Amino acid sequence: MVLLTNCEGGVGMEAAREVLDRGGSALDAVEAGIRVVEADTSVDSVGRGGAPDLLGVVSCDAAVMDGATGRVGAVGNLRYFLHAVSVARQVMERLPHVFLVSEGAERFASDIGAERAEMLTEEARGRYERWMLERPPASARANLSGAELVQLAWESSRDKTAGGTVVFLCVDGNGDIAAGTSTSGWAQCYPGRLGDSPIVGAGLYTDNRYGACGCTHVGEMTIRACTARSVVQYMKAGVSVREACLEAVRDLRSLKGGYLGPVIIHAIDRQGSSCVVSTGTVVKGLDYFIWRGAGEVQSETADLAGPEIQPEEIV
pLDDT in tens, 226-273: 999 999 999 999 999 999 999 999 999 999 999 999 999 999 999 999
Q: Which residue has the higher pLDDT, 162 or 55?
A: 55
Q: Are 283 and 164 in contact (CB under 8 A)?
A: no
pTM > 0.85:
yes
The one catalytic residue among 5, 161, 165, 279: 165
Told to judge if 165 belongs to the known catalytic residues of this protein, a careful annotator would answer yes
Q: Concatenate the DSSP letters of all residues of 272-293 into one string.
A: --EEEEESS--SS--EEEEEE-
Q: Which of 270, 261, 199, 263 is nearest to 229 (CA)?
A: 199
Helix, strand, coil proportions of the chain in percent (round to 5)?
35, 25, 40
Res. 134 pLDDT band, cuts 50 70 90: confident
Find the helix or strand (DSSP H, E) in which 231 lies: helix 227-236
What distance in Å separates the CA atoms of residue 208 and residue 68, rounded to the nearest whole number? 5
pLDDT at 25 over 90: yes
- What confidence score (pLDDT) does residue 280 get? 80
Q: Which of 291, 181, 274, 178 is nearest to 235 (CA)?
A: 274
DSSP-assigned beta bridge partners for residue 267:
213, 275
pLDDT at 284 over 60: no
